[in-house]
Amino acid sequence: MDHIVDLVQSQVIASVKNKEHLESAAKSHSNIIFLLTGDLMTTQQYLNVLKENNKTTFVHVDFIDGLSNTKSAIKFIAEVWQPKGIITTKSNLIKFAKEEGLMAIQRIFLIDKNAMKKGIEIAHSCRPDAIEVLPGIMPNIIDSLTKLTHLPIIAGGLVSTKKQINDGLKAGALAISSGDPKLWNLDL
């Protein structure tokens, strides 16, 4: 079985938030793509473009228009779209994804210490392959998180400079996700 740590070649993950950036992501140095745009009609096309360019893609199910938060939606994603995995804030969808053979990334928002603690507890109970924490520009918090969990940490959100990426990686993040195409071709 794949382990997310083994998938990461570039430590910058291209987070595609609109279709205009799809081609840039497909041609970027990033080997992992987080797809945060699309709907029931377009997502398959977007995934095909990324697969043709040998990208490992995770679909953020919370952002795909027309998907419901159900087991059958995850089954459809696994059988029809066939990405490497999903990203979601919803722990029940993590469980469904794992049952369908998809990798899963739990997204948590670090608004305060309680949210951080609760997010780690939820992640430990639903067992995702990694945790994506937002915002990703707090190296001291990333460092603290790596001590609270054995799960790989991906930091994202508000990341806009190479220094922020390097700081996050030095703090212990496995990778940094960014929606800024200018950062997708860094050799990290």
> How far is 181 from 119, CA to CA, in rounded Å?
28
Q: What is the pLDDT of residue 35?
A: 98
DSSP state of 100: T
Domain range spanning residue 72? 7-183
> How far is 13 from 130, CA to CA, in rounded Å?
13
> How far is 146 from 166, CA to CA, in rounded Å?
16
Which amino acid type is present at position 85?
G
Q: Which residues pair with 86 in a beta bridge?
A: 59, 104
- Closest by CA to 177, choosing from 32, 8, 14, is 14
Is the residue at 86 inside a domain? yes
119-132 pLDDT, tens digit each: 999 999 999 999 99
CATH number at residue 113: 3.20.20.70
5-61 pLDDT, tens digit each: 999 999 999 999 999 999 999 999 999 999 999 999 999 999 999 999 999 999 999
Is the residue at 1 inside a domain? no
Q: What is the pLDDT of residue 187?
A: 85
Is the residue at 44 inside a domain? yes
Coil, strand, or helix at residue 167?
helix
Cβ contacts of residue 52 below 8 Å, gap of 6+?
Answer: 26
Q: What is the pLDDT of residue 188?
A: 81
Is the residue at 188 inside a domain? no
Is the residue at 2 inside a domain? no
Number of domains within the chain: 1
Question: Is residue 135 reached through a cis peptide bond, with omega within 30 degrees of 0 on the bond before it?
Answer: yes
Is the residue at 72 inside a domain? yes
Instruction: Flag whether pLDDT at 1 surpasses 80.
Output: no
DSSP state of 114: H
134-170 pLDDT, tens digit each: 999 999 999 999 999 999 999 999 999 999 999 999 9
Q: What is the pLDDT of residue 122?
A: 95
99-121 pLDDT, tens digit each: 999 999 999 999 999 999 999 99
Q: What is the pLDDT of residue 2?
A: 78
Q: What is the pLDDT of residue 178?
A: 97
DSSP state of 77: I
